[in-house]
Structures are given as C-alpha cells and as structure tokens.
Amino acid sequence: MTTQTIAGTPIPVTPPPLPAVSGTATRPIALVRQPRHVLMDREGRYRLSTDSYAEYGRLDFLDLPGASYISRTHFALKLEDEQLYIRDLGSKNGTKVNGVDIRGKGWVPLKPGDAVEVANVITLVVTKVE
C-alpha cells in the first residue's frame, strides 16, 4: 500500500483498479530477421550486413589507415530473395570481388567465402550465418 503525507499525517492511497480485460486478445510479435550473410574482416572488427539495402563508405572505416581512399559512399549491399548482392557506387578506388573490379557491373551476387576488397584498404569475407 502506498501512503501520501498531508500535514504530517500519512494517509493511505489506493491505486485505481486495473481495467477489465475481456477474452484473451493477443498481438502478434514481430520477428526480427537475423542477417543470413555477413561481410567480416579477418579480425572480426567489422561486420557488415543488411536485411534489405545498405550503403557503406568512408565513415564506416574511419579508424583504418588509408580510410581516405574509401569513397564517402563506396558500395551498397542488397538482400533480395535470400541472395546477397553488392554494387560499387562509382567509387574512385574501386570494389573488388575475388580480385575482380566490379565498378560499372551493377549488382553482383555474393556467396559464402567471397572476398570483397574495398579500395585496396580492407578485405571482407562473406560468411553465412546459421
């Protein structure tokens, strides 16, 4: 029981009753989908993924030596029908998948084990998450 003090005298305060609930109405819980694929560097410091579309650039790698070679918006990841794709966004120093420059090649599918090189600064490997 809660009390309230008025003029030095404690007076019991009764909380209002809870509203009546009819039936057993429930609301569905929205499930948060975990990424199925992650791009990760060798040390595990960087973990990039998306459940729809995401752009990555210099601000995502500022602590790396050579980050200035990474464009402001360098590449994008897209997940479509459970397939992960990457696209270079017109970067100056390029994005490579398994050593092949993908500038101007549109959306390139990625699979587990693929190596993504960002501007010759960092290499990320596609890892499948179970």
Q: What is the DSSP string of 22-59?
A: -TT---PPPPPPPPSEEEE-TTS--EE--SSEEEE-GG
Q: Does residue 105 lie within any of the structural domains? A: yes
pTM: 0.72
Helices (H) and strands (E) in the chain, counts: 0, 12
What CATH code is carried by the domain that includes residue 116?
A: 2.60.200.20
What's the rounded Cα separation, in Å, for the pair 130 and 117? 24
pLDDT given for residue 104 in this prediction: 97
Q: Quick: pLDDT tens for 4-63.
A: 666 667 777 777 777 776 666 666 766 655 657 899 999 989 999 888 999 999 999 999
Instruction: Answer whether 2's CB lies under 8 Å from 13's CB.
Output: yes
- Structurally, the chain folds into a number of domains equal to 1
Domain of 82?
A: 37-128
Q: Quick: pLDDT tens for 51-99.
A: 899 999 999 999 999 999 999 999 999 999 889 999 999 999 999 999 9
Q: Does residue 46 lie within any of the structural domains? A: yes
Q: Does residue 28 lie within any of the structural domains? A: no
Per-residue confidence at 3, pLDDT binned at 50, 70, 90? low
Dihedral sign, Cα of residue 65, residue 70, residue 73, residue 75? negative
Q: Does residue 10 lie within any of the structural domains? A: no
What's the rounded Cα separation, in Å, for the pair 130 and 112? 12
Q: Does residue 119 lie within any of the structural domains? A: yes
pLDDT given for residue 5 in this prediction: 63
pLDDT given for residue 103 in this prediction: 97
